[in-house]
Amino acid sequence: MKQYDLVIVGGGPAGLAAAVAAKDNGIDSILIIERDKELGGILNQCIHNGFGLHTFKQELTGPEYASRFIDQVLERNIEYKLNTMVMDITADKVVTVMNREDGMVQIQAKAVILAMGCRERSRGALNIPGYRPAGVFSAGTAQRLVNMEGYMPGKKVVILGSGDIGLIMARRMTLEGAEVKVVAELMPYSGGLKRNIVQCLDDFGIPLKLSHTVVDIEGKNRVEAVTIAEVGPDRRPIPGTEIRYECDTLLLSCGLIPENELSKSAGVALNPITSGPIVGDNLETNIEGIFACGNVLHVHDLVDYVSQEAATAGKNATLYIQNGVAANVKTVEIVPEGGVRYTVPKFIRPTEMEDNLTVRFRVGDVYKNCAIATYFDEELISKRKRPVMAPGEMEQVILNKKKLAEYPDLTKITIRIEEV
């Protein structure tokens, strides 16, 4: 069986940054496995700008952002395999991969980093009634057709869901000559970044209808019309509010689901809120030596944070390969409350963690002029005012190791949204 110190599953932004960090921390035997024909992952089809403002202080396109990391991988001579699918991962870190040239090969890794990203929620999962004609696409599939292959999936478009890809595609389809009639969003707030609402909808006069959903799809061969209706607080359609749009295309941007089928095969425990692995401060899953980062761990809003998180995973996988597991280490759980939906990590090791650990999370509703409060047991440790918080954007809290050392008997950390 082939052996590598570190196998990284996925050559997108998370996998690339993790590989670079592992190499820079002293691991040489690294293999990145990528199923597509090039490195870079979904960034390759994100040809709009706005990437890298935090990391590079520049507005890059997706391919440009990816190429910065691809260059770093190439400069470091990190090994990678393209057009290769990971078929299975075991808890013993045997990774089975397959491609045309090598066939099916088993690799024994000392550590594995999961960096498979996420997939889009499909029409079926949304259970939208109506006919099943051609012309219903997930926004990402449409993005690939338009941006990678140059084919237009339709002329008159309705978009369900205001996730970022849907917003970006509203602008893209408009620029390519299509008419985007409306973006309907089930929730009373958008699932995307504020800047995308402004730049992709408002600037093009595309209406956003909050608290609306699709209740019917017409057309036996190709989409002919889509009917949307307003929903009540129970998110069920309100009879009499239907509006019918003649169109040939329905794009869906209704949420992303971390792609953890392989993680499950290895026995990795998942958090039902994020659909991603439950990890500690070092981003290790419940399976020793298997780490996770990027959108497979939890869906991020900005790729900069993916890169940061992946670098942490790369560094920690290296520490694990070099030193093994620290034994008998105390862990403290982070409890999300009062509007905080989840946290990544889910627990920390106060004696082992980094000096300043970033805990990321999302809120469950729109909050104006509220604060993020952090408690060590019952004691309020910090309260940071935020003018606006929304589910579409990630929030964070920094935990300081020195500060934690002052609380040797700490049993839990609570993060919650409070009035100012």
Partner 1 sequence: MYDVAIIGAGVIGSSIARELSRYQANICVIEREEDVCNGTSKANSAIIHAGFDAKPDSLKAKLNVRGNELMDGLSKELDIPFKRNGSLVVCTKDQDRAGLDELLEKAAVNGVPGCRIVEREELVKMEPNVADDVTCALYAPTGGIVCPFHMTMAFAENACVNGVSFFLNTEVKHIEKTENGYTIKTLHTDSNEEEIFEAKVVINAAGVYADELNNMVSENKLHITARKGEYCLLDKDAGTHVTHTIFQLPSKMGKGVLVTPTVHGNLLVGPTALDVEDKESLNTTGAGLGSLSMTSALSVKNVPMRQVITSFAGLRAHEDGNDFVIGEAADAKGFINVAGIESPGLSSAPAIGEMVAELVKDMLSLAEKDNFIATRKGILHPEELSLEERNELIKNQPAYGNIICRCEMISEGEILDAIHRPLGARSLDAVKRRTRAGMGRCQAGFCSPRTMEILERELKMSMFDITKNGAASNIAIGLNKEI
Binding site for partner 1 (CB under 8 A): 35, 83, 85, 87, 98-104, 106, 119-120, 122-125, 127, 129-135, 137-138, 140-141, 144-146, 148-155, 176-178, 215-218, 220-222, 237, 248, 261
Q: Shortest Cβ distance from residue 215 to partner 1 (Å)?
A: 6
The DSSP string of 34-97 is -SSSSTTGGGGG--SEEE-TTTTSS-EEHHHHHHHHHHHHHHTT-EEESS-EEEEE-TT-EEEE
134/198 with CB nearer partner 1: 134
Burial class from Cβ neighbours inside 10 Å (0-12, 13-18, 19+) for residue 328 reads exposed
Centre a 10 Å sphere on the Cβ of residue 383 and count the other Cβ atoms it contains: 12
98/210 with CB nearer partner 1: 98
Q: Shortest Cβ distance from residue 183 to partner 1 (Å)?
A: 19
Left (φ > 0), alpha (ψ -120 to 50) or beta: where does 404 sit? alpha
Burial class from Cβ neighbours inside 10 Å (0-12, 13-18, 19+) for residue 348 reads buried
Q: Shortest Cβ distance from residue 220 to partner 1 (Å)?
A: 6
175/398 with CB nearer partner 1: 175
Residue 14 near residue 42, CB atoms below 8 Å: no
130/392 with CB nearer partner 1: 130
185 forms beta bridges with 210
124/205 with CB nearer partner 1: 124
Residue 274 near residue 344, CB atoms below 8 Å: yes
Q: Shortest Cβ distance from residue 141 to partner 1 (Å)?
A: 5
342/376 with CB nearer partner 1: 342
Burial 92-127 (b: 16+ CB within 10 A, else e): ebbbbbbeeeeeeeebebbbbbbbbbbebbebeeee
Six-digit token pair at 372? 């993020």
Q: Shortest Cβ distance from residue 84 to partner 1 (Å)?
A: 9
* CA angle, residues 135, 260, 329, in degrees to nearest 5: 155
* CA angle, residues 158, 296, 284, in degrees to nearest 5: 160
Six-digit token pair at 98? 């397959």
124/240 with CB nearer partner 1: 124
Q: Shortest Cβ distance from residue 149 to partner 1 (Å)?
A: 6
Q: Shortest Cβ distance from residue 163 to partner 1 (Å)?
A: 14
132/194 with CB nearer partner 1: 132
Q: Shortest Cβ distance from residue 193 to partner 1 (Å)?
A: 22
Peptide bond into 239 cis (omega under 30): no
